[in-house]
């Protein structure tokens, strides 16, 4: 993925599997727009909850347990994700984040790249991160989880030269096609932050600094909302001390039709949130566009045969392979045989999953890999002169 250079805010893309990183050079178009935003999406899952557009009786509320107010499986709550880190074969609670595209999570830079101690010269990347949407006490909840594939951070953060404490996590599976995602926005006008109400969902997991008798253990989603009290060139916040586990959570504005993330929590002091500036916005939007142009989602073109990436991928025992047969062609070629085959990496046929005529529309085929060794496998679709091949990874 390469885009042309125009600004010094280079991004680093870290490959979780190989522990190597490369540079993503961001194209900054120098436009004069004062308000920019990506697209939001409510996802395929049912359920949506309305949030208050009026300020609360206090300037900004205390934390409230989200499931006492909403069904957390509803949109937009379900776009909130809990992050678990893998270290030395064990899993630990880490941070919060928000889905912003089918395969992307927005969080804080220090949630994926950090110093183990102050004596370290360089920052280090997390071994891997498990992303759990709408977590509310169970890792295996209502929605599919995913593992990190790449991390994107600013080089200035990695070099500790500037506090661009913001990161993207690219996932192995497009889990947000089901949950939906929020838009990312840049707004130049400070009146936007002064006049509006902002919302936040997060996973605190420590004692409340002002009252240590109140302890959050990270097992529940919490909610707060209200007005912004602190506005600087680089951050916004309010007079509440943040709590461990909230790092990476986002502040967003909504009128219950549009949902705009404007900042990412990076400091507990006055709940400081790193404000998305124009440079950040273009970096994020270009990554979203690049991933989508590389078929990061399973959007259907109703006039074409299509073979989609299996899901989940990587997978342990079973996975689903989807493909699409357009209606107009199936009527003409109704007797055409559909063949879906599995091969190993050496090209040997392992299994014939489908060998029969099928109706038009989206088809889902279950593949059980029981008895197969871990490794890369290939699946191939043949139908009416159309051939497509994709790879999948079995991990046991």
- Extract the tokens encoding 353: 């999953």
252 and 328: one domain? no
In angstroms, the CA 11 to CA 23 distance is 6
Flag whether 106 is in a domain: yes
What's the average model confidence in pLDDT over 344-368?
A: 89
| Same structural domain, 273 and 315 | no
- pLDDT at position 335 over 60: no
- Whether residue 355 sits in one domain with residue 207: no
Domain assignment of residue 3, yes or no? no
Dmax over CA atoms of the chain, in Å, equals 71
283 and 311 fall within a common domain: no
Q: Tell me: do 201 and 59 sit in the same domain.
A: yes
116 lies in the same domain as 210: yes
Is 158 in the same domain as 204?
Answer: yes
Query: In the chain, how many domains are there?
Result: 2
- 260, 293, 326 — which closes off a domain? 293
Domain of 44?
Answer: 11-293
CATH number at residue 58: 2.40.10.10
Written as one string, the DSSP assignment of 132-184 is EET-SS-SS-SS--EEEEEEEEEHHHHTTSS----EEEEESS-THHHH-B-EE
CA distance 372 to 369: 6
342 — pLDDT class (breaks 50, 70, 90): very high
Q: Return the pLDDT at 24.
A: 76
Q: Is 299 within a domain?
A: no
Q: Which two structure tokens, joined as six digits, stand for 229?
A: 């009290």
d(CA 100, CA 176): 8
**Statement to judge: residues 197 and 249 lie in one domain:** yes
Model pTM above 0.75: no
Q: Are residues 164 and 186 in the same domain?
A: yes
pLDDT at 3: 34
Residues 354 and 237 in one domain: no
**Do 132 and 147 form a contact (C-beta atoms < 8 A)?**
no
Task: Note whether 29 and 110 are same-domain residues.
Answer: yes
Does 335 lie in the same domain as 197? no
**Contact present, 49 and 75 (Cβ < 8 Å):** yes
**CA separation for the pair 133, 44 (Å, rounded):** 14
pLDDT tens per residue, range 110-142:
899 876 555 555 677 888 899 999 999 888 788
Q: Could you tell me the two tokens for 81? A: 């994700």
pLDDT value of position 260: 97
* pLDDT computed for residue 117 by the predictor: 52
Average pLDDT over residues 225-252: 93
Whether 6 is in a domain gets the answer no
């Amino acid at each position: 993925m390469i885009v042309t250079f125009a600004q010094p805010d280079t991004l680093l893309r870290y490959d979780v599997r190989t522990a190597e990183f490369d540079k993503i050079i961001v194209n900054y178009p120098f436009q004069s727009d004062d308000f920019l935003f990506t697209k939001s999406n409510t996802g395929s899952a049912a359920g949506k909850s309305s949030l208050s557009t009026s300020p609360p009786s206090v300037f900004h509320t205390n934390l409230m347990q989200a499931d006492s107010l909403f069904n957390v499986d509803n949109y937009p709550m379900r776009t909130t994700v809990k992050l678990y880190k893998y270290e030395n074969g064990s899993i630990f609670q880490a941070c919060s984040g928000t889905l912003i595209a089918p395969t992307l999570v927005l969080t804080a830079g220090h949630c994926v790249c950090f110093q183990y101690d102050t004596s370290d010269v360089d920052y280090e990347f997390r071994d891997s991160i498990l992303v759990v949407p709408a977590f509310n006490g169970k890792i295996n909840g209502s929605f599919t989880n995913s593992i990190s594939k790449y991390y994107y951070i600013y080089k200035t953060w990695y070099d500790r030269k500037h506090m661009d404490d913001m990161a993207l996590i690219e996932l192995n599976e497009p889990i947000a096609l089901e949950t939906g995602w929020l838009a990312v926005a840049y707004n130049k006008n400070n009146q936007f932050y002064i006049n509006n109400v902002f919302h936040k969902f997060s996973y605190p997991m420590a004692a409340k600094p002002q009252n240590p008798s109140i302890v959050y253990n990270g097992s529940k989603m919490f909610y707060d909302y209200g007005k912004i009290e602190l506005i600087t060139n680089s951050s916004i916040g309010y007079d509440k001390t943040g709590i461990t586990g909230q790092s990476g959570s986002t502040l967003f504005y909504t009128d219950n039709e549009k949902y705009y993330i404007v900042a990412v929590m990076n400091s507990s002091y006055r709940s400081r949130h790193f404000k998305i500036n124009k440079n950040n916005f273009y970096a994020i939007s270009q990554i979203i566009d690049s991933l989508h142009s590389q078929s990061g989602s399973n959007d259907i073109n109703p006039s074409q045969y299509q073979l989609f990436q299996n899901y989940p991928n990587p997978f342990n025992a079973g996975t689903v392979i989807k493909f699409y047969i357009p209606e107009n062609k199936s009527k003409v070629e109704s007797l055409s045989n559909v063949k879906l085959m599995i091969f190993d990496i050496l090209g040997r046929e392992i299994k014939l999953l489908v060998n029969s005529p099928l109706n038009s529309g989206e088809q889902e085929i279950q593949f059980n890999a029981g008895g197969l060794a871990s490794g890369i496998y290939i699946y191939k679709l043949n139908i009416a002169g159309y051939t497509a091949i994709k790879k999948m990874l079995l991990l046991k």
